[in-house]
Structure 1
Amino acid sequence: MVSDAARDIRELIENWVLWRDSGDWDRFATVWHDDGRMEATWFRGSATEFIAANRRGWERGVTILHSLGGSSIDVEGSRAISQTKMQIHQRAVVHDVGCDVVCTGRFYDFFECREGRWGLVWRQPIYEKDRIDAVDPGATLELDQELLGRFPEGYRHLAYLQTLLGHEVAPTMPGLRGPEVDQLYARGRAWLAGNDGHPSELPEGS
């Protein structure tokens, strides 16, 4: 049986995608707690800053969409960790060729119930694999292999596109395996155990 907490959290996860991708910024803000924080390839900062950055991109015509799969949600009292299968879809021009990048991974989320309301405290995606394709299948796309090789396998094509768009892309985001994702799991365990502090600042060896 699914608990009330798990249902509320899954609803927040789905609302995050629907409201962000449709530009419903006022309702998107309600998904987060006041100290909410977002980490992504192209962004690291507060939820408020993240919403503002997405709004600016939306107004410039940036196309980033998300799709969701299943969720696994662990609840301990007023805290929860959820993992949700997802894909990131970004369209942009790469070397004069219209391209789609699809990145597959998981949203790894830290939730807390405060004054009877569940909210998102920290979202850290896990990037598992990605690819880039020309929108026109007859187009020829040649990538700079040196630039592509700067980034981990899990999101190197997404990072390539975002770097060309002018973003400073983080080179050490969590992937399917490795110390970064192990450290994230450790922070998740510490969060559920009730350790003090914002989850993004918990000791990586917790």
Structure 2
Amino acid sequence: MDEQLKDRLEIRDLIENWAVWRDAGDWDRFATVWHDDGVMMATWFQGPALDFIRVTQEGWAKGVSILHFLGGTSIDLKGDRAIVQTKMTISQRGDVQGVLCDVVCTGRFYDFLEKRDGRWGMVLRQPIYEKDRVDPVDPAARLELDREALAAFPAGYRHLAYIQTQIGYKVKLDMPQLVGAEVEKLYVRGRDWLAGKPL
């Protein structure tokens, strides 16, 4: 098999395994998608992958329900490095002011991958948050949001930030969105990564 095709298949496998193993709670296998220095960025957590696994497990124990669904993937490959963009949705279910709701956020995972000792692994996962919405699980339920509090959050993940704040998380307010300075800086970091520069 052509080496570049093999790399692309291994990368796609890694991206899909991230979502399946994380959402299934298959923590031992989930840890294998990362390199030892891997970093996870999310609205509610930013830090080392091993800490992300630990706090995710703690969240599960408290009833936090966050799931992921993947769409198409674009792989920019240069030697032993790759930038991988994957269309995704983040779905979080939880209580919003006494009403059980689903928040769905659509965006992309923007991943910095590297092949080390023959194995591809994730060095940095940075989501890009494009748009979101909130819906009561019971369509007959009446949901009233605090409009002022909602407006304080970035448009691309406004409802996601709202529900996460409601359950006690501190949300990062300058995450990349569909357009803007933060996503442009991320694209520059991606080009630098493919050019061999350090993160």
Which TM-score tier does this pair reach, normalised by the shorter chain? over 0.9
- The corresponding residue for 1:117 is 119
User: What is the aligned partner in structure 1 of residue 173 from structure 2?
Assistant: 171
Q: Within 5 Å, give how 1:49-68 maps onto structure 2.
A: 49-68=51-70
Distance in 2 of aligned mates of 1:60 and 1:22:
16
User: Alpha-carbon deviation of 1:89?
Assistant: 0.3
- Equivalent in the alignment of 1:81: 83
Offset at 1:111? 0.1
**Cα distance in 1, alignment partners of residues 28 and 62 from structure 2:** 19
Q: Among the aligned pairs, what percent are the same residue?
A: 64
Trace 1:124-135 onto structure 2 (pairs within 5 A).
124-135=126-137
Residues 1:38 and 2:40 are matched in the alignment: yes
Q: For 1:23 and 1:60, how far apart are their aligned partners in 2?
A: 14
Q: Cα offset for 1:161?
A: 0.1
Q: Report SS of the residue matched to 1:173.
A: coil
Q: Does 2:142 align with 1:140? A: yes
Report the counterpart of residue 185 of structure 1 in structure 2: 187
* Structure-2 separation of matches of 1:164 and 1:104: 20
Matching residue of 1:9: 11
1:61 Cα offset (Å): 2.1
**What is the RMSD of the two structures over their aligned residues, measured on CA atoms?**
1.0
In 2, Cα distance between the equivalents of 1:139 and 1:19? 33
Paired residue total: 197
Q: Deviations over 1:67-91 (max 9, x none)?
A: 0000000110010000000000000
Report SS of the residue matched to 1:155.
helix
Residue 186 of structure 2: SS of its match in structure 1?
Answer: helix
* Structure 2 letter corresponding to 1:44: Q
Distance (whole Å) between structure 1 residues aligned to residue 164 and residue 83 of structure 2: 28
Counterparts of 1:169 and 1:129, CA distance in 2: 16
Are the equivalent residues in 2 in contact too, given 1:150–1:171 (CA < 8 A)? no
Equivalent residue number for residue 94 of structure 1: 96
1:37 Cα deviation (Å)?
0.1
Structure 2: tracts of 5 or more residues without a match: none
* Paired residues of 1:87 and 1:105 also in contact (CA < 8 A): yes
Aligned-partner residue type, residue 99 of structure 2: V
SS at match of 2:155: coil
* Structure 1 residues without counterparts, runs of 5 or longer: 200-206
Note the alpha carbon deviations across 1:118-164, whole angstroms, 9 max, x for none.
Answer: 00000000000000000111111010111111111100000000000
Q: What's the offset of the Cα at 1:58?
A: 1.5
